[in-house]
Structures are given as C-alpha cells and as structure tokens.
Amino acid sequence: MLVVEATKVAKRYGKLQALAGISFCVRRGECVGLVGPNGAGKSTLLRCLLGLVRYQGAISLFGQEAKAAGHRSLALVGAIVEGSSFFPYLTAEQNLGIYLWKRLPQAVLREHIRDTMRMVGLNPRPGQKVCTYSAGMKQRLALARALVNGPELLLLDEPTNSLDPVAADEIRRLLLHLNSSQGVTIVISSHALFELERLCHRAIVLDQGQLVTEIALQRSGKGLVRLRVGDMARVEEMLSGDYALRRLDDCLLVECGEDHKVGMMIELMVREGIPVYEVARNAFEDIYLDLFRQRNRAARGHPE
C-alpha cells in the first residue's frame, strides 16, 4: 500500500520556486530519507505533505487526497517540523495532553503521556515549565508530541537536531525500532547522511526544488557498492546483465546488497585480469558528495 503519493508537487514563494513538480511515493513500512543542500526544498516538501502550506499538484496520504476538506488521514500522522513551538509556561505533560486527541480516562491518559516521555528519554523535574528546557529537551518533547497519538506515519524534519551524540543515537535506535518492529512508515529529512544510511531503505535527493535522483541504501537489500577498477567499460559490460549500475566520476556504483555477491564480483574481475583499486560498502556520503561535485562542475560549464 502507498502511504504517501506525491504527483508534480510545486510550491512558489514569490519569485522563488521552492518545489518544481516533484513526484515520488512511499510504501507502507518504508523509511525514506530526504537529502539535499540548504534551500533544496526538504522542509517545504514536508510542510506540503502536512497541509501546512498551499501547493500545486496532488498529494495522497493513505489513499486519501490531502487537499480534501477535513480529511482524516492526518490523524494517523506524527510530525516534527522546522521551528516547532510549545506553550512555554506549561509542563511537558500539559503540552502533550493538549495534543493528545485520544479519549482516555484521566489516570490512563497521564500514564500514557509518561510512557511517551520515557520512550524519548525526556525526564524533566516535576512541574518544570517548557520555557526552562534546553534545546535538546525541547527536541525530545517535539518527538514525544509526534509519537503521543501512536501514528502510522512519521514526517520528521531534522529529528536529532540539538541532541548530543549519545542522545542522537538513542533516538536513531528508537526510530529504527518503530520502523522495523512496529511497521511505522517514516519520512525523515536530515543533513546527517550517516544517520540516514543506518535508518533508511532509500534516499530522495533534492536540489533547487527538483528531485535529482533516488539512492538505494543498505537496509533495502540493494545497498550501493562503489568500485574503482582499471577497465571501467569492460566491467560495465560484464556486470550490466546482473546488476543495476551507473558511473559517477571515476567510479562505478553497483546495487548489491549481499556480501557474497560482492565477493563474486571481485572474483570475476580478478579472474578476468582487471585491476581492482577500491571496493567500498555503505558509501552514501561519498556518493552524495560526488553527485553534487558533478552538478556544481556542470553548472560552471565544466562537466568533466
């Protein structure tokens, strides 16, 4: 089932074309990353999915048109958006109680809120007002608010922003558990490429409001392997029948999720007398950087 389906989504702020006809879909149980430079359109796209801004094109959530008045799909969605705010002179429990739409007995409601706070590692002092929270505590509260109604879809904009490395790792593990064990579908925007590499099945790359490409990551079973070899054309010819591959600078990117298949590729090249200079697994950051180096060179009129 498609949980998210976007078709030719466009958004303009005055003369700025923030999104230029983006189309993509997310299947139930997937974790999909949104990556790209600042200003690429990631946050705007998440706001469009949530119906927070007007846009052109079509978006469906759980098979329902998102522009439909009062559509109920948003009840299944939890989100962190850029610039999340809270009632500053209320406690975390009071803030979460406002956003909790489930009708529960008061004692059950209080325990549910405390469970959600424990889940994200938020442990304020009794009665502590949100206005006294650190940036990291506010980020944990934002995640608790996204989770408090038990969503089936999470739309997260930089969910580990302002967290220290240990806290960020805890949140990554929580998201991985929600996705792999509970089947929660996740769309996550982040500049931390190593974070997305651990969490996501694939990454959607945006630049200047356009969808540049999609990259399969290791969790999909189709992770990318980067090869640097002595005879690129010959290796392309040898592997093209069995593997999806493409060139990037002086490397060859091969979709290959299983380690024994990587070994088979290397064995084949060695047997054919082709020098193998580099084999790299989980090279998402390198692939991303190479992609934008190519785009920047092309923009300057020097594609090579």
Amino acid 222: pLDDT:
61
Same domain, 142 and 208: yes
pLDDT tier for residue 155 given thresholds of 50, 70 and 90: very high
35: left (phi over 0), alpha (psi -120 to 50) or beta: beta
User: Which string of b and e fits 8-40 if b means at least 16 CB within 10 Å?
Assistant: ebebeeeeeebbbebebebeebbbbbbbbeeeb
Half-sphere exposure of 279 (CA within 13 A, CB side): 14
Total domain count for the chain? 2
- Is a pLDDT exceeding 80 seen at residue 102? no
- The CATH number of the domain where 270 resides is what? 3.30.70
Amino acid 69: pLDDT:
46
Q: How much of the chain, in percent, has pLDDT values that exceed 70?
A: 93
Amino acid 257: pLDDT:
64
Same domain, 208 and 249: no
pLDDT digits (tens, 9 = 90+) for 116-154: 999 999 999 999 999 999 999 999 999 999 999 999 999
Same domain, 139 and 200: yes
Which amino acid is it at 243?
A: Y
Between residues 252 and 55, the one the model is more confident about: 55
Same domain, 278 and 166: no
pLDDT digits (tens, 9 = 90+) for 12-39: 999 999 999 999 999 999 999 999 999 9
Domain enclosing residue 202, as ranges: 2-214
Diameter over CA atoms, the chain: 73
Beta pairing class for 202-207 and 224-229: unpaired
Q: Which helix (H) or strand (E) holds 32?
A: strand 31-35
Smallest CA-to-CA distance from 152 within 79, 207, 253 is with: 79
pLDDT tier for residue 70 given thresholds of 50, 70 and 90: low
Amino acid 220: pLDDT:
61
Among 188, 214, 240, the domain-final residue is 214
Task: Give φ, ψ of 74 to 5 degrees.
Answer: -65, -20
Same domain, 149 and 231: no
Smallest CA-to-CA distance from 40 within 295, 291, 161, 212 is with: 212
The pTM score is: 0.83
